């Protein structure tokens, strides 16, 4: 029978986090250099859950060294590696390379320097509640569901737990504190799920600041 959630997370939970950091990114790691996707994973995880890197190394190495056999494949008792642009025959060596990079990072303290998010995964993972707001209330369907941007925000505030709203305020202040150009903010809100333009006359950063002020008040 397929893996249950608890067993999946015990065996593959952190492996899944690493692999998902590669979706939409090049799996171009070499023995000498990490990919942008793996740097993004390390940059975020060292800051938020440093202990998880060793867990990821162990899960990845065990999976690569003990790939699922035919019976486990037939029963669904395995982790299906998402498509990262590699041939199936290349996956095992790539996973072992990732495990080596993660081990080296833990043992030597080789950590990517702090920076603004560089990948879709990193934006989504660093700002989860802002992603929830922008992707859930400011999708391409917003004009059909709400009268304007303010009405969408009112609906979010009315239907979201107060603790999550507080978290959103923190994320808004954090993203506004990043040293970004306006074009970077336009990219950021897109990566976070926004599919409509900010209301006139605001640029993306100004509109995010307006939301932060309104919620705080």
Instruction: Tell me which residue of 128, 122, 132 sits closest to 194, measured CA to CA.
Output: 132
Structure tokens, 67: 């790939």
How far apart are alpha carbons 19 and 46 in whole angstroms? Answer: 16
Residues shown for the chain: 217
Query: pTM for the whole thing?
Result: 0.91
- In angstroms and rounded to an integer, the radius of gyration of the C-alpha atoms of the chain is 20
Q: Are 136 and 195 in contact (CB under 8 A)?
A: no
| Residue with token string 């509109």 | 207
pLDDT digit string, tens, across residues 110-150:
999 999 999 999 999 999 999 999 999 999 999 999 999 99
Instruction: Tell me which residue of 141, 142, 120 sits closest to 189, measured CA to CA.
Output: 120
| Residue with token string 């249950």 | 4
How far apart are alpha carbons 126 and 171 in whole angstroms? Answer: 8
pLDDT digit string, tens, across residues 139-195:
999 999 999 999 999 999 999 999 999 999 999 999 999 999 999 999 999 999 999
């Amino acid at each position: 029978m397929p893996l249950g959630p608890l067993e999946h997370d015990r065996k593959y939970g952190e492996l899944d986090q690493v692999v998902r950091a590669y979706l939409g990114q090049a799996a171009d790691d070499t023995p000498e250099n990490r990919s942008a996707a793996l740097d993004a994973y390390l940059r975020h995880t060292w800051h938020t859950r440093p202990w998880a890197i060793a867990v990821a190394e162990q899960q990845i190495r065990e999976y690569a060294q003990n790939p699922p056999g035919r019976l486990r494949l037939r029963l669904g008792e395995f982790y299906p590696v998402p498509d990262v642009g590699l041939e199936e025959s290349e996956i095992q060596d790539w996973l072992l390379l990732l495990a080596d990079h993660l081990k080296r990072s833990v043992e030597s303290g080789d950590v990517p320097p702090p920076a603004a998010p560089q990948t879709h995964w990193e934006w989504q993972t660093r700002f989860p509640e802002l992603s929830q707001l922008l992707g859930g209330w400011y999708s391409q369907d917003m004009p059909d569901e709400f009268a304007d941007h303010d009405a969408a925000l009112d609906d979010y505030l009315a239907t979201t737990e107060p603790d999550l709203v507080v978290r959103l305020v923190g994320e808004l202040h954090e993203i506004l504190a990043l040293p970004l150009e306006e074009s970077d903010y336009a990219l950021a809100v897109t990566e976070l799920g926004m599919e409509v333009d900010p209301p006139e006359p605001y640029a993306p950063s100004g509109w995010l600041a307006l939301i932060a002020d309104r919620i705080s008040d």
